[in-house]
Homo-oligomer: A and B are copies of this chain.
Amino acid sequence: MAIDHPHEAVLRRLGRGAPLSEAERRAVEGLPLRIRTLAPRSMIVHQGDPSDTCCAVLSGWVGCFKILAEGRRQILAFHIAGDLPGLQSLHLGTVDHGIAALTGATVALIPHAALHDLVERHPGVAARLWRETLVNVSILREWLTGLGRRSAYERIAHFLCETYLRQRAAGLAEDGRCPLPLTQTELADALGMTSVHVNRTLKDLRGSQLIAQEQRTIVIRDFARLSAAAEFDPTYLHLPPAPA
């Protein structure tokens, strides 16, 4: 589906909240997309490289990250279907972070030039795209807060709440269960901890009956208690009102 109608994913995301006008819709549909199917762990953009394309995730998980000395890595964001990583580089030219597929994934590459053109002609679309980057920033700020001021236990709980809601909004999750195709090492690199400690903390969360794990999916057994433990407030995700 995503691959047959790649513009759909972008349109759906930009139309979140208020629908696009007919002209805007057509303009977005006119974007030249280059579809790429990616193997797990394949690089999309290298840290520090100049970049002249954005990228829309159609399926799979994509991650942004920075590499430091001594093999340290910080994952800055996870992106799922509908997300637009790489908008960061639109007005900066270079990305100071890498972008890679974490799972098998399909993405659509969009040249900056096409976006600049689109944005110049359709201020309404510009506003949507801008808004989209601002939502990502909002999430980044929440992560920053977690790394700075939340315990490991709260941090993981918070992350799970976030991941569930984001995936549900993208139609990828429901009934308290959602895919979590990440290794504990990846989770650790996102949450500023070690994989060992992620493992122990997940065990604690299972012990508290807050979650359960089944192969690569996570089951949230008690969202209310989990979000209370995490001091989770979904406002920052700026999602449209939840479905009934």
Q: Separation in Å of the A145 CB from the closest CB of chain B?
A: 4
Interface residue tally on A, bucketed by range: 35 or more
Q: List, in ascending order, chain B residues with CB within 8 A of A147's CB.
A: 144, 147-148, 192
Q: Is the CB of A91 within 8 A of B145?
A: no
Q: List, in ascending order, chain B residues with CB within 8 A of A74's CB.
A: 144-145, 148-149
Q: Is the CB of B192 within 8 A of A134?
A: no
Residue A48 at the chain B interface, CB threshold 8 Å:
yes
- The distance in angstroms between the C-alpha atoms of A21 and B5, with both chains bound, is 40
Q: Separation in Å of the A45 CB from the closest CB of chain B?
A: 14
Say which residue of B96, B137, B238 sits within 8 Å of A133 (CB atoms): B137
Residue A210 at the chain B interface, CB threshold 8 Å:
no
Sample (21) of A-B pairs whose CB atoms are under 8 Å apart: A48-B235, A66-B142, A66-B145, A68-B231, A74-B144, A88-B138, A91-B131, A91-B134, A96-B138, A96-B141, A96-B142, A96-B236, A119-B127, A120-B123, A136-B137, A137-B137, A137-B140, A144-B147, A147-B148, A148-B189, A148-B190
Residue A150 at the chain B interface, CB threshold 8 Å:
yes
Q: List, in ascending order, chain B residues with CB within 8 A of A119's CB.
A: 123, 126-127
